[in-house]
Each structure stands twice: as structure tokens, then as C-alpha cells.
């Protein structure tokens, strides 16, 4: 089920990034601090009152040219209006209402989306009176907060949560594999989708996503039902998505949240750029099964080593996604396209696979016997038992004598041994280390 999206909008220097960090709390610190994971501060996952949501900080947008600040906040507002379920409109108590604030307010007011007005830098009681002039923006009661001191964040989030849409039941059954097609502009996402559907010639219908603003296309192949969630070809009027490729991340977020399997499309002719890592990284952090699809392979000059070399480049650039298979296709000529759906089915099954506890413990016991955990300051990690607690993605809890001495490298070793035994191709595995209590 897709998480709702909260966007934080406002002119520069009002403290959007500080509030972003407060809202997602410890989440950013506990997501994987691993080699190769690209940290794009544009998005994060937060929770409040048992509701999970995605948070978008529009503050990282930089625009060149005249009147840079005003153009920047217009773009932020336009992005939030299109994509967010709730908008936090941030202003600065010390600066008062500025022309840029008025500009954004007019755009948000016309959009008819829920807007919560947060007045930042209300660092003490004396500043509380400074919030009243912001009533003029037309969004009801302003909420005074202090990002630097953490004041008022709870009150703000209580109001924001009240505006989130009710969780929707997924409209497709468990037997349907939902496939999101993501990638930066001009990698050939639309062509790939059309090629998949054109080859099968069994398009049922195009369903315009209600609040999701995406196109869902159900189809069936060899008795398996699929839905393609297409993020391609959805640029709206205006120059938002032409201005910077960073926006493609937000487009991808909604589709990824709903998907079982994510196709990360890379332009084989252009190769890999940093933006590819940002987009793929979100699929990884969302715990989705993923496949790298290298498109436009028909126009790449190659010899018998080219495919191996490109695969190695993907492995080098995406160290955090070594589990994801790589396919080389051409949407234009349909080269190797017939291999794609069988791989989709396989990784979807691996994503939903549950391993019996006794089998998991046998594999981990053998792994420990072959390579015992190293000591840490004279203390050795002891693994008591292991169990899988969730699927989509597979989540495994390792009960130990002291979680503090579980080193990342040993966790990765266990991950590799578990994969060697059971597969889990195409899916991340979440490993959590817990202290074994005395009564267990």
C-alpha cells in the first residue's frame, strides 16, 4: 500500500531541511549506512501516530538565472501541488511575511490541497506573538515551531496527520504482480512499456489512477496477471520536469510505493549517471524487488566483452543492490524482451518467499561454524537463533547475546550465506539484530 506524501515548501532559509530531519527523526540514521548508497536528502520516510508517510524536502532545488529565489519557490510549490497529499508551508517568524511567501500562498490556495502553515524560528515565548501576521496568508491557524530546538513539532504533525487521506485497500488482488517502471527522463521508459504491452497484445484497459496521477495498465501473459504502473510520459504543462532531473525522483516515489517489482531503466547508450543511483536507491530503501533494465542496447557498439563490462559498471555503481539481476534489451527492436517477464515473476516470488525457521537456523549455524564472529574488545558475538518475521521484503531477526558487537561486515556475510542457500534474487533482505531476552 502506498504511503501518503507530505511535501515541505517555502522560500530558501526558512529551515525546511531542519524540519525535514525532525519529521523523519532517526529514520535517516538507521537506513543503511553502507558503501554505495547515495544519500539524496530530497526524500525520507517518517511515522507519527502509527501512520507512515513519505516526506519530501523541496529545499534542494536550485534554479539559475534572474529572480532566482522567486522562480525557485514557484517550482517547489508547483511540484508539491502536483504530487503531495498534504503540504507543510514553512515561513520564518523573524522575517515576517515576504513577497515570496505571498506568491507561494496564492499558488497553494488555488490548488485546493490540504496546507498546514508552519511558522519556524519561534524559539521562545517572546516570539509567539510573531506568528499572528501570518494569518494574512489565508491558511487558518499558523503553528509556531522551532526546528533548531524541536519545539512544536508534535503539534504540527498532529495537524498534518489529520489531513492525510484514509489508507486505501489495494484495488488489485494478491495474485497480480504490480510492476513500476522508473528511471530518469529519456532512458526509454515509455518505449519499454509500449514494447511490453505491444508484444503481448492483451491490454485490458488504461485506468487513470484516481489520486495517484499515474496510468495503470493491467494485462495477462501465460496465465499470470500484471499491472504496469507507468511513471513515464506524465510530465505536466510547464517547465518543472524539464528544469532539473531531480524531480524524476518524486515521480518514481509514488509508483515504487505501490509496486511489487521495480524496473530500473538505464540508457545503455549514455551509461550510468548519478541520478540513476538516486532513483534506484529509493527502490532499495523502500524494500522492493528490483531489476536493472539496460535499454537501447541495439544502438550500443559492442563486442563479446561489452555486456560483461556494463554489468560490472552497474555492480560498481550500485554496491547496495548487488542482488538485482541485469537485463539488456531494446524496446525498439524487442531484442531480449521475451526474457523480462519471466525474471519479473521470479523476483516477485523471491520477494514474497518465507523460509522455515529450522532451515534458516541450519544455514546460519553452518555459516558461524565456517567463519565465527570476530571478537570486539575481547567479547565475542554469540548468535542464539534466527527467524524470518516478514516478507516483501524478507525480514530476518538475528537474536544475539549483544547487538552492539554485531559488525556490519558480519551481517553482510550472513546475508551472502542466506542468499547462497535460498536465493532471494532481486530482493533486498532486511536483517535486524536483537538481544535474546532471558525468558526466550
Q: Domain ends where: 333, 351, 369?
A: 351
Residue 168 in any domain: the answer is no
Same domain, 346 and 404: no
pLDDT given at position 166: 77
Whether residue 13 is annotated as binding a ligand: the answer is: yes
User: Is 138 labelled as part of a ligand binding site?
Assistant: no
Rounded Cα distance between 222 and 300, Å, is 31
Q: Annotated binding residue at 185? A: yes
**Co-location of 212 and 66 in the same domain:** no
- Are 194 and 229 within one domain? yes
Check whether 16 is labelled as a binding-site residue: yes
- Within this chain, do residues 155 and 192 fall inside the same structural domain, yes or no? no
Residue 186, marked binder = yes
Q: Which DSSP state fits 216?
A: E
Q: Give the whole-angstrom CA distance, residue 383 versus residue 434.
A: 10
Same structural domain for residues 281 and 396? no
pTM, rounded to two decimals: 0.70
Per-residue model confidence (pLDDT) at position 241: 42
230 annotated as a binding-site residue: yes
Instruction: Tell whether residue 198 is among the known ligand binding residues.
Output: no
The set of cell numbers assigned to 226 is 500484471
Quick one: pLDDT at residue 197? 83
Q: Is residue 440 part of a domain?
A: no
Would you say residue 257 lies in a domain? yes
Number of domains forming the structure of the chain: 3
Report yes or no on 42 lying in a domain. Answer: yes
Question: Are 145 and 87 members of one domain?
Answer: yes
Binding site annotation covers 122?
yes
Query: Which domain CATH number covers 98?
Result: 3.40.50.300
Ligand-binding site membership of 296 (annotated): yes
The reply to whether 71 sits in an annotated binding site is: no
Residue 170 lies in a domain: no
Residues 125 and 268 in one domain: no
Boundary (domain end) residue, out of 320, 351, 382: 351
Query: What pLDDT, on the 0 to 100 scale, is given for residue 225?
Result: 93
Q: Which residues contact 53 (CB under 8 A, 6 or more apart)?
A: 3, 4, 5, 6, 45, 46, 47, 164
183 annotated ligand-binding residue: yes
Residue 100 lies in a domain: yes
Annotated binding residue at 216? no
The last residue of a domain, from among 351, 385, 407? 351
Residue 116 has a pLDDT of 95
Can you list the residues of the chain whose pLDDT is less than 50? 26-41, 60-66, 199-213, 233-246, 440
Asked if residue 28 and residue 105 are part of one domain, the reply reads: yes
* DSSP assignment letter at 172: S
pLDDT, residue 261, reads 97
15 is in an annotated binding site: yes
Q: What is the pLDDT of residue 438?
A: 55
Q: Tell whether 74 and 210 lie within a shared domain.
A: no
Instruction: Tell me: is residue 298 an annotated ligand-binding position.
Output: yes
Q: Is 188 annotated as a binding residue?
A: yes
Determine whether the annotation assigns residue 146 to a binding site: no
Q: Is residue 171 part of a domain?
A: no
378 labeled part of a ligand binding site: no
51 and 158 together in one domain: yes
10 is in an annotated binding site: yes
Whether 154 and 12 share a structural domain = yes
Tell me, yes or no, whether 209 and 84 share the same domain.
no
Q: What is the pLDDT of residues 176-222, one digit of tens each?
A: 999 999 887 778 887 888 888 874 433 333 333 322 345 678 888 89
104 with 14: CB under 8 angstroms? no
Query: 120 a known binding residue?
Result: yes
Q: Binding site annotation covers 232?
A: yes
Residue 368, domain extent = 357-435
CATH of the domain at 413: 3.30.300.20
Q: What is the pLDDT of residue 353?
A: 97
**116, 160 Cβ separation under 8 angstroms:** yes
In a domain, 421, yes or no: yes
Q: Name 82's Cβ contacts closer than 8 Å, sequence gap at least 6.
A: 213, 236, 240
Strands (E), 159-205: 177-182
The answer to the question of whether 158 is labelled as a binding residue is: no
57 is in an annotated binding site: yes
Q: Is 91 annotated as a binding residue?
A: no
Annotated binding-site residue? 123: yes
Omega prior to 67 cis, within 30 of 0: no
CB of 312 closer than 8 Å to CB of 172: no
Give the pLDDT confidence score for residue 130 in this predicted structure: 86
Please give the span between the terminal C-alpha atoms of the chain, in angstroms, as a whole number: 33
pLDDT at position 18, please? 83
Q: What is the pLDDT of residue 169?
A: 54
Q: What is the pLDDT of residue 1?
A: 57
Amino acid at each position: 500500500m502506498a504511503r501518503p506524501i507530505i511535501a515541505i515548501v517555502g522560500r530558501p532559509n526558512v529551515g525546511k531541511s531542519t524540519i525535514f530531519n525532525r519529521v523523519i527523526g532517526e529514520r535517516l540514521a538507521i537506513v543503511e549506512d553502507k558503501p554505495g548508497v547515495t544519500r539524496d536528502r530530497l526524500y525520507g520516510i517518517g511515522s507519527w501516530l502509527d501512520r507512515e508517510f513519505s516526506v519530501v524536502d523541496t529545499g534542494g532545488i536550485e534554479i539559475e538565472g534572474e529572480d532566482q529565489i522567486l522562480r525557485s519557490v514557484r517550482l517547489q510549490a508547483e511540484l508539491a501541488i502536483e504530487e503531495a497529499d498534504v503540504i507543510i508551508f514553512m515561513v520564518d517568524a523573524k522575517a515576517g511575511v515576504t513577497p515570496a511567501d505571498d506568491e507561494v500562498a496564492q499558488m497553494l490556495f488555488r490548488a485546493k490541497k490540504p496546507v498546514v502553515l508552519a511558522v519556524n524560528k519561534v524559539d521562545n515565548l517572546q516570539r509567539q506573538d510573531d506568528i499572528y501576521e501570518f494569518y494574512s496568508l489565508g491558511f487558518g491557524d499558523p503553528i509556531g515551531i522551532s526546528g533548531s530546538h524541536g519545539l512544536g513539532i508534535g503539534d504540527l504533525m498532529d495537524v498534518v496527520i489529520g489531513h492525510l487521506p484514509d489508507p486505501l485497500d489495494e484495488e488489485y488482488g494478491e495474485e497480480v504482480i504490480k510492476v513500476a517502471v522508473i528511471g530518469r527522463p529519456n532512458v526509454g521508459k515509455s518505449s519499454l512499456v509500449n514494447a511490453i504491452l505491444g508484444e503481448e497484445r492483451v491490454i485490458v484497459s488504461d485506468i487513470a489512477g484516481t489520486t495517484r496521477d499515474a496510468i495503470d495498465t493491467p494485462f495477462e501473459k501465460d496465465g499470470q496477471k500484471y499491472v504496469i504502473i507507468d511513471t513515464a510520459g506524465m510530465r505536466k504543462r510547464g517547465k518543472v520536469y524539464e528544469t532539473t532531473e531531480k524531480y524524476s525522483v518524486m515521480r518514481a516515489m509514488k509508483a515504487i510505493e505501490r509496486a511489487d517489482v521495480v524496473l530500473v531503466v538505464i540508457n545503455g547508450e549514455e551509461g550510468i549517471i548519478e541520478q540513476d543511483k538516486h532513483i534506484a536507491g529509493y527502490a532499495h530503501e523502500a524494500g522492493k524487488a528490483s531489476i536493472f533494465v539496460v535499454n537501447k542496447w541495439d544502438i550500443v557498439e559492442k563486442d563479446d566483452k561489452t555486456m560483461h563490462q556494463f554489468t560490472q559498471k552497474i555492480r560498481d555503481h550500485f554496491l547496495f543492490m548487488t542482488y538485482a539481476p541485469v537485463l539488456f534489451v531494446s524496446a525498439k527492436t524487442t531484442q531480449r524482451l521475451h526474457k523480462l517477464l519471466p525474471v519479473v515473476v521470479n523476483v516477485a516470488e523471491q520477494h514474497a518467499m518465507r523460509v522455515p525457521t529450522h532451515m534458516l537456523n541450519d544455514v546460519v549455524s553452518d555459516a558461524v561454524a565456517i567463519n565465527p564472529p570476530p571478537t570486539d574488545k575481547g567479547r565475542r558475538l554469540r548468535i542464539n537463533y534466527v527467524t524470518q518475521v516478514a516478507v516483501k521484503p524478507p525480514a530476518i531477526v538475528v537474536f544475539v547475546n549483544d547487538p552492539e558487537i554485531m559488525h556490519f561486515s558480519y551481517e553482510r556475510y550472513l546475508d551472502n550465506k542466506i542468499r547462497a542457500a535460498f536465493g532471494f534474487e532481486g530482493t533486498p533482505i532486511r536483517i535486524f539484530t536483537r538481544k535474546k531476552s532471558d525468558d526466550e
